[in-house]
């Protein structure tokens, strides 16, 4: 019996039947083999993909640089591993960790074997442990501090107003009380943002459609941004209602559009979209479970640098010059959305600008 032939059959059967997604390409990227798990995940039948290039899975979520680095790595003979967002046949997106192994024969690369690792659990854990716990800890601390400071400022402002009332309006001392009042009120504003971040601000929830909120804000946003920036609004016709504090959500949108304005140097555009999102038909965000109404705000600015991205929701984190940024816009937005039991995410688009996505749970 020829053992080598048997082994070949066994390996082929194993690759075909194992519940791990595999595919093999030649050095040009032409697909030579996909297994059943691949068909099940992507929705493509074997005969539809054999001979094609894996870029049929391209979602547009990664830029050309990303693919170039991938190719540079594997064509050198190294293993490439990375998170990638791909597109199924039906157009829905999925996230995966892909490992691509160059397979050599006589020292030369002949094939590439790509194998998918399911990382939805991992992402869920990362999400729970890292960013949100850090913000949770800062929130507790900031909340206590802000609470005490707020009480103090209330006393200062109240007393100053009473003292001012007793003084002659043209006296130097009266001028001083006004200065103290002005700066105390500015500080109270900062403290208020911190209180919002720490979810210590009371909210008035009511049933509302996010489309209505955005329609009401059209003029407000146009006033806030310069006339060189075009505003596009695209509202879903069948957006489901959510339970929200209207003024707080307006605050979140204003904070994000203000940042978008700052990120756009000169001319550009801001696009606001709404849509329904269900965790059933997409596993792009494994930590989102259920049905959400989403507000998406995308800008054509410079995007958020990789090293900045993990910090943007921290209070007082700003990359703007002194006097321009307080670093409280996104942290208060974060607090507000948390208090709505929603989720706010920041990403960069493949075109370069930033995208903020706000997920609010729909009323069942």
Ligand X SMILES: Nc1ncnc2c1ncn2[C@@H]1O[C@H](COP(=O)(O)OP(=O)(O)O)[C@@H](O)[C@H]1O
Residues that bind ligand X (CB under 6 A): 255, 259-260, 263, 299, 301, 303-304, 308, 312, 317-320, 325-331, 354
Q: Name the β-bridge partners of 102.
A: 112
Residue 46 interface partner, choices ligand X, Mg ion, none, CB cut-off 5-8 Å depending on type: none
In the complex, minimum distance from the CB of residue 312 to ligand X, in angstroms, rounded to a whole number:
4
In the complex, minimum distance from the CB of residue 158 to ligand X, in angstroms, rounded to a whole number:
29
In the complex, minimum distance from the CB of residue 258 to Mg ion, in angstroms, rounded to a whole number:
5
Q: How many residues bind Mg ion (CB under 5 A)?
A: 2
- Asked whether 114 and 99 are in contact (CB, 8 A), the reply is yes
In the complex, minimum distance from the CB of residue 6 to ligand X, in angstroms, rounded to a whole number:
59
Nearer to ligand X, 15 or 229 (CB): 229
Nearer to ligand X, 242 or 272 (CB): 272
- In degrees rounded to 5, what are phi and psi of residue 294? -115, 140
Residue 41 interface partner, choices ligand X, Mg ion, none, CB cut-off 5-8 Å depending on type: none
Q: Which stretch binds Mg ion (CB under 5 A): 71-79, 126-134, 169-177, 324-332?
A: 324-332
CA proximity to 269, closest of 313, 336, 222:
222
What is the C-alpha to C-alpha distance for residues 55 and 115, in angstroms, rounded to an integer?
Answer: 15
Distance (Å) of CA 149 to CA 152, 153, 169: 5, 6, 29
- Asked whether 119 and 83 are in contact (CB, 8 A), the reply is yes
Nearer to Mg ion, 242 or 260 (CB): 260
What is the C-alpha to C-alpha distance for residues 77 and 65, in angstroms, rounded to an integer?
Answer: 19
Residue 326 interface partner, choices Mg ion, ligand X, none, CB cut-off 5-8 Å depending on type: ligand X
Query: Would you give the end-to-end CA distance of the chain in angstroms?
Result: 64
Residue 190 interface partner, choices ligand X, Mg ion, none, CB cut-off 5-8 Å depending on type: none
β-strands 268-278, 93-105 pairing: unpaired
Nearer to Mg ion, 184 or 259 (CB): 259
Q: Which stretch binds Mg ion (CB under 5 A): 53-61, 107-115, 304-312, 325-333?
A: 325-333
Q: Which stretch binds Mg ion (CB under 5 A): 12-20, 80-88, 256-264, 288-296?
A: 256-264
In the complex, minimum distance from the CB of residue 228 to Mg ion, in angstroms, rounded to a whole number:
19
Nearer to Mg ion, 208 or 260 (CB): 260
Q: Each residue of 73-100: b (16+ CB within 10 Å) or e? A: bbeeeeebeeebbbbeeeeebbbbbbeb
Binding positions for Mg ion, 328-347, rule CB under 5 A = 329
Q: Does 259 interact with Mg ion (rule: CB under 5 A)? A: yes
Q: Each residue of 1-25: b (16+ CB within 10 Å) or e? A: eeeeeeeeeeeeeebeeeeebbbbb
Q: Name the β-bridge partners of 80.
A: 100
Judged by the rule CB under 5 A, the positions of this chain that interact with Mg ion are 259, 329
């Amino acid at each position: 019996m020829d053992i080598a032939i048997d082994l070949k059959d066994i390996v082929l059967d194993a690759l075909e039947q194992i519940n791990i997604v595999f595919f093999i390409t030649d050095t040009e990227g032409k697909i030579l083999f996909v297994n059943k798990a691949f068909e099940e995940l992507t929705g493509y039948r074997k005969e539809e993909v054999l001979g094609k290039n894996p870029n049929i899975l391209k979602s547009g979520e990664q830029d050309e640089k990303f693919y170039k680095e991938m190719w540079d790595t594997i064509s050198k003979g190294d293993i490439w591993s990375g998170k990638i967002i791909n597109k199924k046949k039906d157009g829905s997106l999925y996230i995966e960790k892909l490992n691509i192994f160059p397979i050599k024969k006589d020292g030369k690369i002949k094939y590439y074997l790509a194998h998918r690792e399911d990382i939805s659990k991992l992402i869920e854990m990362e999400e729970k442990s890292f960013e949100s716990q850090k913000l949770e800890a800062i929130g507790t601390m900031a909340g206590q501090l802000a609470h005490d400071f707020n009480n103090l400022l209330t006393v200062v402002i109240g007393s100053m107003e009473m003292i001012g009332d007793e003084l002659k309006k043209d006296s130097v001392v009266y001028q001083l009380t006004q200065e103290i009042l002005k700066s105390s009120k500015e500080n109270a504003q900062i403290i208020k943002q911190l209180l919002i971040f720490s979810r210590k601000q009371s909210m008035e929830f009511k049933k509302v459609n996010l489309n209505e909120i955005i329609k009401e804000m059209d003029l407000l946003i146009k006033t806030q941004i310069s006339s060189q920036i075009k505003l596009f609004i695209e509202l879903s016709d069948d957006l489901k209602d959510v339970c929200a504090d209207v003024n707080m959500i307006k605050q979140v949108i204003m904070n994000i559009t203000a940042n978008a304005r700052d990120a756009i140097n000169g001319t550009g555009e801001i696009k606001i979209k709404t849509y329904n999102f269900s965790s059933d038909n997409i596993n792009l965000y494994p930590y989102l479970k259920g049905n959400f109404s989403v507000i998406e705000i995308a800008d054509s600015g410079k995007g958020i640098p990789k090293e900045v991205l993990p910090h943007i929701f921290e209070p007082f984190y700003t990359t703007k010059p002194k006097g321009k940024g307080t670093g409280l816009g996104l942290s208060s937005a974060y607090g507000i959305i948390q208090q709505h039991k929603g989720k706010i995410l920041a990403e960069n688009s493949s075109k370069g600008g930033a995208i903020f996505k706000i997920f609010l749970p729909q009323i069942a």
